[in-house]
Chains A and B, each alone.
Chain A
Amino acid sequence: MKPQGEAPDLLQQDRDLQQLFAGRRPDAGRFAVGVTARIRARTAAVAEGGTSAAHEPQTRVARAAASALPDGAAWLGAKSLLTWLSWPALLLAGSLLGGLGAARELRRDLRGAAVAMGQPSVRSRVGLFLATLPLPLLLVVGIWYRVPLADLLVGLVLMAMVAFVVQVRLLARHGGTRRDHVAGFAVSLLETLFQISMCWTFFGGLAGQEPWEGAGVVWTLLLGVVALLPFVAAPRRWLGLGYVALLIALLPPSTTLRRDSLAAVAADVAAARPAAGELIDWHALASAVEALRAQGTAVDVGAGLRDDLRGWLADGVDLHPQVLSAAVRIGCLDRSAWQDLVGLRKAAAKLSSWDRQGQLYSPDYGFWELPALLATRPGDAAQRAHWLQRVDTLWPNRLDPAAAGMPLVDAWLALRWRELLDAPEPTAELVAAAHRLLLKHQVAKGQRGAGGFTDFPNEQYGDNAAAAFRALDLLARCGAPPGLDLEALHTTLRRNVQQQGAIGRAARGDGLLHRANLVRFEQLFGATSLTPARWLLEARVMLAMLAVVLLCGYAVWLAPPERQGPGALP
């Protein structure tokens, strides 16, 4: 309850307050004229080709940025998808801008220090140090020797950080920099690296790292940001904390996912239903099925895939041999389907060619021919012996190192077809030829995909998934030759899996094939031993990022804290 006598007081106070503000009260007429004048001026400016404040460039930028924000109920739509995809780019841009701002502050410190000391040489000494660093030389050498881009970038960042620490040390010695400025720059740098590594790990894989190593890089940088934030100036600190919270919220959990487990591959195989024209998907699917079966995992493709095939053949669709070969390897063609197939004119012509004499020529996607022949025309012993003889014609080429074509493909076809014809085990001569092939087709160190396999050993195309699959099939049948680098092969197979990222490509095409290859390798050889040297090599990016974080911390520690006020008066 209000006390008695309050009302008159408040009334008096009301009058006093109204009088207090009377001098500041806007004049209604003058105010309206002001508004009108502004409207007219801006309308005229627009009419003359200028821009009104509502259409200034920065407003357009702000609108574009705002349009990227989630828009409520439409969050499931395509716009929302683009929105979420744009977040990493926006965050990265934010980090870069923050870094530029912090670098400007540092530069101002540098100028201030030089002027205050009357020693413009501070800057030149730093510049001299940077110039004497062998950065350009290392860059050229790295590119020349095809050092992976990630390694090159990480190395450059590390060396730049060393230069940065030296610069801060020079400045700090002369009192020319402040701790909050250095911390601001360091935090921006780590945030930028965090963004890049997160995108890289999420969408592509980080320099051949295991998933846990990619996650390790991301978390190392994030912890570095959190550790250095308290040294940034107060307003920016709170801004930075909000930013870090956003980063953590957006940190994809997939950085710790492994998509190469048996169950994951089997699930993707069961769900696969490639179209008639998706040749790589068919090949990958067949290879994944074979890899899983070799592992002892019962696997079957969905009924939809069988229905598709049956329908295509019944309708006389001109299927690519790759699709037929894959269907044969998967085992989803029944007798009626074979009859439909050989009823096709081109297929019948191809099969009748097996009765001829001489050298057999067939690409790997011609694998379907012999199974189709055996399914529709089993043949007597003489015919089978003739077909085996023709299959063996694929081998002599392998004994000639200068042979043209794709020897790995031919050797793989010969081995697989020999099994279909119930031929005896490969002779020692064939096994030796297969070993020579494997050694010749393994990608050498220093090249892209070192340790993997290639169909073209004389070219530097790097490794490819299909060649690795065929090589693993040969390894399964002929064993590993001495001198084959299994550790490098394992590393490359793991890297190829991780490079598919956690979304999209991993479930089909080359992504699925890479995963099948890794499953197959681990089934054949188990996990290879991880020596300390190998561990250091594989964790090099994470260790380098840890060093960057530590150097940032050292630079912040070197810089003197902001000077305090004059102190309390007596």
Chain B
Amino acid sequence: MAAGVGELLRRLPQVGAGLGLGAVRLPEPAASGDFTDFLRVGACSGQSPTVHAPSPNDPELDHWIATFRGPLVGLIASWGATWARAEELAMDTFAEAWLGRDRFVGDRSAPNAVGPWLRGIAFHLLAADRRAQRKAPARLDAEPVAPTPAEPGEQHERLRAAFAQLRVEHQEILRMHYLESTPAGPLAALLGISRKAVEGRLYQARIALRERVARLVPTGGGR
């Protein structure tokens, strides 16, 4: 089994390159829990990820992923999933969408049509995932965990603490935007609101975050 995993890891970059995805950067096992998450992908799909998965080689799918990957992961994380689970569910979402693309009656090249569709699939997959896990599920609108900074430091700890104090919709828009610096268009499509509303919400979220960070900054002198 362990040999199989090693083989998998060795071959992954070639797989990604073969798929025209560019060099696939392997996650550092020691540095992140994402590596084990990645292994679960194979378990979840019922097949080893070592398979030379034939790419759908579909520019449409590539376009969807490039457009919605970051905000979709952020959105699912905002619904209460862990970051690792959110990423897996986003993969599931794109796979389901691509397999069921013939059922989609809208314009598949229009982000405004595809966004709500992906959001719907993701929501149902998350609900199904929770049912399958049979845990006491967190409410969908429960406040999710704040992101963990890549380089922990005092400023980042403060920012993280301030982020956790934000309103749910402010957290949501920040996750969706800053995860991959996604522009307002895909965010608007996923949330079903206008670009102006997204920009306004982002602006308000930044202001609120700055205020909360300011409150957390020691005033100096102490008591």
Q: A-side interface residues toward B, CB under 8 Å? A: 9-10, 13-14, 16-45, 52-54
Contacts and interface: CB of A to CB of B under 8 A. Distances in A.
A45 B151 CA distance: 42
Interface string B76-114: 010000010001101110111011100100000000000
Given A22-B150, A26-B90, A34-B88, A17 B178 contact: yes
Contacts of B149: 19-20, 22-23
A25 B25 CA distance: 13
Contacts of B99: 39, 42-43, 52, 54
A76 to B, nearest CB: 22
Contacts of B96: 53-54
B interface residue count range (under 10 / 10 to 19 / 20 to 34 / 35 or more): 35 or more
Interface in B165-191: 174-175, 178-181
B173 to A, nearest CB: 11
Contacts of A53: 92, 96
A40 B54 contact: yes
Contacts, number: 151
B27 A40 contact: no
A280 B70 CA distance: 71
A33 B149 CA distance: 25
A14 B203 CA distance: 11
B152 to A, nearest CB: 9
16 contacts: A16-B155, A16-B156, A19-B150, A20-B163, A26-B87, A26-B179, A27-B27, A30-B16, A31-B65, A33-B21, A35-B94, A36-B55, A37-B45, A39-B53, A42-B45, A44-B47
Given A20-B147, A39-B98, A26 B69 contact: yes
A33 B19 contact: yes
A41 B150 contact: no
A32 B156 contact: no
B65 to A, nearest CB: 6
Contacts of A10: 206, 210
A33 B90 CA distance: 13
The SS class assigned to the A binding surface is: helix
Contacts of B70: 25-26
B24 A39 contact: no
Nearest to B62: A32
B23 A37 contact: no
Nearest to A41: B45
A36 B41 contact: no
B51 interface: yes
B95 A33 contact: no
B163 A37 contact: no
Interface string B202-220: 0000100110010000000
A47 to B, nearest CB: 12
B179 A34 contact: no
A36 B83 CA distance: 20
A558 B47 CA distance: 54
B15 to A, nearest CB: 6
B175 A34 contact: no
Given A19-B156, A21-B179, A54-B100, A40 B22 contact: no
Given A37-B47, A38-B45, A40-B53, A21 B65 contact: no
Contact of A34 (B23, B66, B91): B91
User: Which 5 pairs of residues, A with B, have the shortest CB-CB distance?
Assistant: A38-B95, A29-B24, A41-B45, A23-B150, A34-B91
A16 B70 CA distance: 17
Given A18-B181, A35-B98, A54-B96, 20 more contacts: A10-B210, A13-B206, A13-B213, A16-B156, A23-B32, A23-B148, A24-B179, A26-B90, A28-B21, A29-B25, A32-B62, A32-B65, A34-B41, A34-B88, A34-B91, A36-B19, A37-B49, A40-B47, A41-B46, A41-B47
